[in-house]
Amino acid sequence: MYISNYRSRCEAIFLFFLLFLVACALRLVYIQIFRSNYLATIAKKQHNLFTEIEPLRGIIYDCTLKPQALNLPADSLYAAPNMMSSADKERAISALSKVLNLSQDYLRERLSRKKAFIWIKRKLSLEETASVKKLKLKHLGFIRENKRSYPNAYLASQIIGFAGLDNVGLEGIELSLDQYLKGSSGWGMFLRDARQSRLDVYEKISSPKDGMDAILTIDQVIQYIAERELDKAFKTYNAKGATIIVMDPYTGKILAMASRPTYDLNEYGNVSKDQKRNRAVCDLFEPGSVFKIVTAAAALEERKINEEDKIFCENGQYRVANNILHDHVPHGWLTFREVIEKSSNIGTTKVAQAIGAETVYKYIRLFGFGSKLGIDLPGEISGMIKEPRFWSKTSIGAIPIGHEVGVTALQLASAISVIANGGRLMKPYVIEEIRDKQGVVIKKSTPTLIRQVISLDTAARISKMLTGVVEEGTGKMAQVKGITSAGKTGTAQKIDPKGGYSHNKFIASFIGYAPAEEPVVTIVVSVDEPRPYYFGGVVAAPVFRNVAAEAVRYLKTKQALSN
């Protein structure tokens, strides 16, 4: 009886294990046949990491091939929240908030997601990477990316602009040339270990295509000189803003362009719109007396007057309709040459009345005011010029001397270049060429003539008058030692929001070129609301002098070395 029971029990146990084995086999068959794809997908997700491989953004060079924007390797921190315990997350939140300067609420929100991959912070500094690695936190890892770097920090910041974390251009050249600079992304399928850490082993990969390089017309040396001198004036005169442009008058190449206030391109996160704005192309202002070159050119070109014709300047007061026009210093009889040299508002207005509103307007448009010049920078505006049918009775006494008009510093630079180069309006540009990584030129800019504005003879006669402005007139502080220069001062009252013109807010300007006989550079300097001095001949002219002296010497030395 005992043996029979024992045998029955053995058979029952054997039958149980046999059925269990059959069940396991059936389960395995089911998994292998019906669930294999699903489970393989899960395994693949656990052990494979699909990563976008970003291309190297194109390098931006100055005209001497010195890099102004390049790429540096940087680590980006990620986490695998679905692998982390609550304790792991709390430890990570507490530690990372301190070393990465991130709020705990932000980190808690990121780590609460049920995902295998989330970014914690992109493109860390070397110090941040080292600090995170010392923490030895679980289920965190790094992916190597490229970070945009600007080696000259503040230099030409409004021209170059910057690219964001995803290497997309957001301002300046980085924005306008983004389609060339950014390249196209690749991808890679990388292996991960059981802790979800990335291994330097990949299953599949598609290489990215790096961006093209851009070469600017900007010269780093001249840009530095221009910014240094502009900065001195901006700080010395407690100005609200300031702008400088240095241009090749014969080609339209921009050799330097800067605005104040400015900012560090590597620290663009908390920069105001005022700092990022390229005032040279997007700020509108009344130019004041620098605009008199247009009236003078129109009068000479139309042969309505010559340099030695005398004009009575009414001893400083002249009625135009219901407005009394003043000169900053009373004058009696002046030759037309002296009217320009001494910047007489009354003398210039009388010349404008003689040639007529339609003619004045014609030459304003010919010089490029009231329309975009087509520079290859974002944000250019056209300015504001009224047609004669909209002029008031007093406009003939305002527009010819630079009031009731809105211009940009770029338009002034192009206009004074017309006088310097013999009467031609050239299209300004800052992008010399675009090359691929093999050095093949994809796109190249060449000097472009917009139109002939005045004759060579008229330009030469105006040039002599502007030389007189510097040697004998209001621009004496623009005199460059050893070099003859030509130019025009301007001091314009700003419009008062309450109506009329302000008596304590001015824009001080100087436009000119050097050397006067064979110009190498044209320069425009504009200072917004300088204090306590506000005359263009005092505030802006010395900036021109210092920049012209060094720029001309540098360019002539550079040319001699290249020959």
Cis peptide, bond prior to residue 55, ω within 30 of zero:
no
Taking the C-alpha atoms of residue 192 and residue 275, their distance in angstroms, rounded to an integer, is: 45
DSSP symbol at 83: G
Taking the C-alpha atoms of residue 275 and residue 278, their distance in angstroms, rounded to an integer, is: 8
- CA–CA distances in Å: residue 167 to residues 65, 68, 171, 332: 22, 16, 12, 63
DSSP per residue over 300-311, as a string? HHTTS--TT-EE
User: Minimal CA–CA distance to 415: which of 252, 539, 543, 532?
Assistant: 252
Taking the C-alpha atoms of residue 235 and residue 301, their distance in angstroms, rounded to an integer, is: 41
Angle at 330 between CA 324 and CA 333, to 5 degrees: 105
Residue 289 annotated among the catalytic residues of the structure: yes
Taking the C-alpha atoms of residue 459 and residue 486, their distance in angstroms, rounded to an integer, is: 12
β-pair type (501-514, 486-495): antiparallel
Angle at 19 between CA 18 and CA 25, to 5 degrees: 90
| Token duo for residue 30 | 């089911």
Selecting among 176, 289, 395, 485, the annotated active-site residue is: 289
| Token duo for residue 14 | 């054997």
Which are the contacts of 228, defined by CB distance < 8 A and separation ≥ 6?
none
User: Minimal CA–CA distance to 423: which of 245, 247, 249?
Assistant: 249
Element (H, E) at 120: strand 118-121
Torsion angles phi and psi, residue 211, rounded to 5? -75, 165
Q: Which residues are catalytic?
A: 289
